Structure 1
Amino acid sequence: MKHLKNNSNIADSHQPCVLIHARIEASAEWSGRLRVYVLLAPHLQVGGWGNSAQQIQLMGKDILLAWKDSTHLAMDVDVGFVKTSCGYVGASDGWQDLRDNFQMDWQFSRIEDGNIALIGQIDLTKHKQFTLGLSFGDTRHAAVSALAQSLSAPFAEHRTRYIEQWRRVCSGVANLDKFSGDGGRLYRISHGLLLAHEDKTFAGAFIASASIPWGEARGDEDLGGYNWSGIAIWSTAPRGFWLVTIQLLHSGRSSISLAHSARTAVSPKTSGSMAHLTGVASSSMRSLFL
């Protein structure tokens, strides 16, 4: 029997980096034979096409980079990679390489301007547990620096801080358990999901229409009716504004609702002038001050 054990996925509390920690458990017959790979298909700036990737060395270790215009990501694992490669999806990517003989035979160091995928074989020769990091930045240096800082601290420290901060932000949530049929479980999950969509730079800014299915459900040509123009759209439209604000008010997050309203009130139009609140937004704004 062989599998990943105690797989944990969290975000670094201070860096734009996702951390995945796992421990490998394998029976004696698989000891020394089991190989673990990580496969990443970057869809930077809300699109699979036009992405590029490269393998570089940092402090004697191979790490994988991807970018599209001014958006960059970096991927590494604390125990190191045995091999890395990057290729075009469906032609030279790691999945195509592995599926014929379950081994990495290709090692392409750079790929440009396409629908791409990156792969790395995780080094399990000395350790049976590892932490994988995936960081982001508006420059290559920013992404690589965030990755290096995140992986320099033990995963246990990240996890402790992550739990503490989520407990703190959820401590003031209104108790609506008695009004639900599941003891408030779905309500608390929904509240956490909503907060996870708040911008980490501008308080009160939220991703527009989080209910729209992305990922494999839609291609680059179908962005759900929004003109993204390569950047995320925040929920300043009346419908999105109303839903986010009311949900936060119901959960007792009046301070975040106020920040959201203020953010919308001062959001500039494409012409450069300041946007006026619509009737729906204005009524929500007034309710916050009553």
Structure 2
Amino acid sequence: MATSRRKFLRAAALVGATAAAAPLPAVAGAQPGSAAPGGPGADTTFTPADKLGFGTARSASPVWFTLQGGRLSEVYHPDLSTPASRETQWIVTDGQSFVERVSDVAHRTELPDPRVPAYRQTATGTGWTLSTRYVTDPERASVLLEVEFHATRPLHVFVLHDPALGGEGTADSAFPLGGALVATDSVTASAVLAAGGFAESTVGYAGVNDGWTELSANRGRLAHHYATAGPGNVVQLGRLRLDGRARTRELVALGFGAAPDEAVRAARTSLSRGFPAVSAAYAAGWRRYLAGLPAAPKEADARLHSVSVLALACSEDKRNPGAFIASPSMPWAFGFDRAVAPEYGSYHLVWPRDLYQIATGLLAAGDRAAAERALDYLLRIQQPDGHWAQNTTVTGEPFWTSVQLDETAAPMLLAWLLGRYDGPTLDKLARGGDFLLSFSKDGHHSPWTEQERWEEQNGYSPSTIASVIAGLVCLADLLERAGRDATRYLSAADEWAAAVDGWTVTHTGPYSPRPYYTRLTKDGNPDAGTTYNLGNNNPGEVDQRAVVDAGFLELVRLGIKRADDVIVRNSLAVVDAQISTLTPSGRHWHRYSSDGYGEQADGGPWDVNRPDLQRTYGRLWPIFAGERGEYELLQGQRAAAAGRLADMAKCAGPTGLLPEQVWDTNSPYPRVRPGTPTASATPLAWTHAQYLRLAWSVHKGRPVEYPEVVARRYLR
């Protein structure tokens, strides 16, 4: 939204007061107090998705931060579906010979205490070292950055802040207010404030005259000092009163609020509290939370267990309890290509499927209250016809709208695990059950689904059908406990359990003379040789019999098939031969044959529908090691399952965050070790949830989410 002319006039009037607090030096060509020309600037793009830090206070403070590439990357406010900034980072220069951003020099990110999501980043450049610690203020919407800077000679340090208010950042306006660099889109606002004030500052348009563009073009000096800019993609810059010699420490705050003065007040108040007090309160909140949960089981990596619990807990929105997002990131084209993502996002949305994974992971780790909140949230956002939307913002507004039947079954499975069969809960779950029984589209009927769990194809999917069968049986059990009739749900579940092999098992496929499960069939005829395009830049069409995944293991995990079922065992041999890779981090699996959801051959980001893009390659997903471990537990192979748990741990990044994907043996980078994180969504909440669930499953000797009521019906 545009900022009014009145706000700009007010900003201009405030420039003098701001300059008095932080005087601008006399620089040739400077235009203090003027408005930056050249708007609206380049389109907003977001930083890569491979985060090394993700944190927020355990309190209700509605602000979250991420770290990537040696800098502060996206900050979210006022909720977890809404980025409020793209990046905040430091620029170091001598004003003569070099200008360096921390993201461009050697840097590392560390997690000093795995019980607290507070991080330290250290960057080393030309004769200087800069270290930053990050926390959020538990009492207000602000992020504190404590900077320590040392140099071999006096240097200049600038803070570069790229606001992206409202999740877009293309209609922000910037101006000084009370010594702070303020941005607003007329709905929300941000403020950058340094405890020692700014020695000089400017604001400009991204890619036109923003601070980095100015400094890099002028050997570390600002040719202009603009006071206001916008609406557009504005970028703010302020020079700290650091030189690395006489003055080596500074405290910077990013404050947020509904209005500029509120954002400034949040930043100023956090600065006045000081970093020691704020960081102590921040740490205490998380340590209290973990102290209320069981200690990590001996079979788990204790550090990764804590990081996983914290990653999931941080993924919950503060204003919408139970709304846990998939990842605080925008991988690949989702962060820069408007054709793919007209509204940037997707991963910082809520998927019922991922929410089920998160809830069961936290339930396994002892946080039952979080799982209850997740179910309550799902019940609140159920659609009028009874199904659950493909995904929603944290406020419950549907974002993508394809129907995935497993996501409508997920609340039933979660409710059964929680033993929830009160009247209001059952009424909503029954509406979901009715939807599962009646769904039809394009001449097909349940359990045919418009999209399976990878959200790319319609058809008869073993994993979707398994979820639907188990969901209906769990729903029926809850209804019967409440004295309600469940006959039609059980009848449908029985019918589909008897038919699933006929829909999805091929006897004529190319990978084995023995029958095996396909990823899915388009027509329910697995021996027909029907073809379809895989998408994700795959050329041509493939025979459905030649596309396999390990989704059939859901039939075992959910109690519909035995672990020693002959077709299951045949299928395991096929997927191990076709889509698994042995890495230094253990054996891991692709989603399915010829998956294209991942980087390009040269390591460039995934994108689609571009004439210059030939092929992209989905890599290995650590979650499948967890799924295989749960299967092995049902086989009685506890040691093997413990090995899968260790393999998942080896996939973690340096701060313990687990990714969506890890490199296979066809990495485009010679120095990248297979089994290490790609630039996919990190942290992926599903991966952390799977790790927690497998850890506790190995400890107890059996999958902790195994629905015994389903197994009693089909495996007796």
- TM bracket (short chain): 0.7 to 0.9
Q: Report the alpha carbon displacement of residue 82 of structure 1 after superposing the two structures with TM.
A: 0.7
1:133 counterpart = 2:239: no
Q: How does 1:240-279 map to 2 (within 5 A)?
A: 240-267=354-381, 269=383, 278-279=408-409
The alpha carbon displacement at 1:103 in A equals 1.4
For residues 142 and 252 of structure 1, the distance between their equivalents in structure 2, rounded to whole angstroms, comes to 38
**Counterparts of 1:139 and 1:279 in 2: how far apart (Å)?**
42
TM-fit CA distance, 1:133: 0.4
Secondary structure of residue in 2 paired with 1:201? coil
Kept in 2: contact 1:245–1:260 (CA 8 A): yes
TM-score by length of 1: 0.83
Q: 1:147/1:106 Cα in 2 relative to 1: closer, same or farther (>3 Å)?
A: same
Q: Are positions 1:161 and 2:272 aligned together?
A: no
Greater relative contact order (Cα 8 A, min sep 6): structure 1 or 2?
1
What SS class does the counterpart of residue 281 from structure 1 fall into?
helix
1:80 offset after TM fit, Å? 0.7
Q: Is the 8 A contact 2:322 2:373 kept in 1?
A: yes
Shift of 1:177: 4.6
Q: Does 1:201 align with 2:201?
A: no
SS at the partner of 1:81?
coil
**Cα distance between partner residues in 1 of 2:265 and 2:340:** 31
Between the aligned partners of 1:262 and 1:276, the Cα distance in structure 2 is 15
CA deviation vs aligned residue, 1:129-187 (integer Å, no higher than 9, x gap): 1111011122223212211211111211111111111111112333335323xx23223
What is the letter of the counterpart of residue 268 of structure 2?
A
Deviating more after overlay: 131-140 vs 196-205: 196-205
Corresponding position of 1:3:
129
SS of alignment partner, residue 248 of structure 1:
helix
When the two chains are superposed, the root-mean-square deviation of aligned CA atoms in Å is 2.8
**Structure 2 gaps, min length 5:** 1-126, 389-407, 421-716
Q: Is 1:16 aligned to residue 128 of structure 2?
A: no
Q: CA deviation at 1:217?
A: 6.4
Instruction: Kindly state the Cα deviation for residue 241 of structure 1 after the two structures are TM-superposed.
Output: 2.1
What amino acid is aligned across from residue 93 of structure 1 in structure 2?
D
**1:284 lines up with 2:414 in the alignment:** yes
Q: C-alpha distance in 2, partners of 1:86/1:169?
A: 41
Counterpart-to-counterpart distance in 2, 1:239 and 1:225: 23
TM-score by length of 2: 0.35
Structure 1 residues 196, 87: closer, same or farther in 2, change over 3 A? same
Matches within 5 A, 1:15-54: 15-27=140-152, 30=153, 33-54=154-175
Is 15-24 or 277-286 further displaced after alignment? 277-286
Q: Are residues 289 and 141 of structure 1, via their aligned partners in 2, closer, same or farther at CA, if it must alter by over 3 Å?
A: farther
Q: After alignment, is 209-218 or 152-161 more displaced?
A: 209-218
Aligned residue for 1:190, secondary structure, equals: helix
- The aligned counterpart of 2:54 is none
How has the CA–CA distance of structure 1 residues 153 and 147 changed in structure 2, closer, same or farther, with 3 Å as cutoff?
same
Q: 2:355, 2:201 → 1: CA distance?
A: 44
Measure, in 1, the Cα distance between the counterparts of 2:239 and 2:219: 15
Structure 1 contact 212–224 (Cα < 8 Å) conserved: no
Aligned length: 272
Residues 152 and 212 of structure 1, relative CA distance in 2, 3 Å threshold:
closer
Structure 1 counterpart of 2:317, which letter?
A: D
> What SS does the aligned partner of 1:101 have?
coil
Q: Deviations over 1:209-229 (max 9, x none)?
A: 21753599622626769897x
On the 8 A contact 2:334/2:341 being kept in 1, the answer is no
Amino acid at match of 1:74: A
Quote the Cα distance in structure 2 between the aligned partners of 1:86 and 1:216: 28
Task: For 1:103-118, list aligned pairs within 5 A.
Answer: 103-118=221-236
- 2:182 partner letter: L
Q: Which amino acid aligns with 1:283?
A: L
Q: Distance in 2 between matches of 1:51 and 1:233?
A: 21
> 1:71-220 maps to which residues of 2 (within 5 A)?
71-99=188-216, 100-124=218-242, 127-180=247-300, 183-207=301-325, 209-210=326-327, 213-214=330-331, 218-219=335-336
Q: Name the counterpart of 1:64.
A: 181
Instruction: Structure 1: state its 5+ residue gaps.
Output: none
